[in-house]
């Protein structure tokens, strides 16, 4: 259970997060969330900055595509 101060800190941190698109040197595009371009580069899960070709602001999918993917995932979970 989070205390009040920790909970408020968590809300502030999560509020500042933005969506980014990371393109690797091989051309693969990944969705990432971070507070800045530098934060995304630093925390990208592949942990290899030399593999990152470009970081741009924006979502990898539109809100409609995200909703469709979530719906498909929910259907698959029920099987």
pLDDT at 9: 52
pLDDT at 16: 80
pLDDT at 49 over 60: yes
Which residues have a Cβ under 8 Å from the Cβ of 11 and sit 6 or more positions away? none
17-43 pLDDT tens trace? 899 999 988 898 999 989 999 888 888
Entry pTM: 0.65
Domain that holds residue 19: 4-78
Task: Report the 3 state secondary structure along the chain.
Answer: CCCHHHHHHHHHHHHCCEEEEEEECCCCEEEEEECCHHHHHHHCCCCCHHHEEEEEECCCCCHHHHHHHHHHHHHHHHC
pLDDT at 45: 72
Q: Are 22 and 44 in contact (CB under 8 A)?
A: yes
Number of folded domains that form the chain: 1
């Amino acid at each position: 259970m989070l205390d009040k101060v920790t909970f408020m800190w968590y809300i502030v941190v999560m509020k500042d997060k933005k969506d980014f698109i990371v393109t690797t040197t091989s051309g693969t595009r990944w969705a990432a969330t971070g507070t800045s371009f530098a934060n995304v580069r630093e925390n990208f899960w592949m942990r290899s900055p030399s593999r990152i070709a470009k970081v741009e602001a924006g979502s990898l999918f539109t809100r409609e595509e995200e909703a469709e993917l979530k719906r498909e995932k929910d259907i698959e979970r029920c099987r």
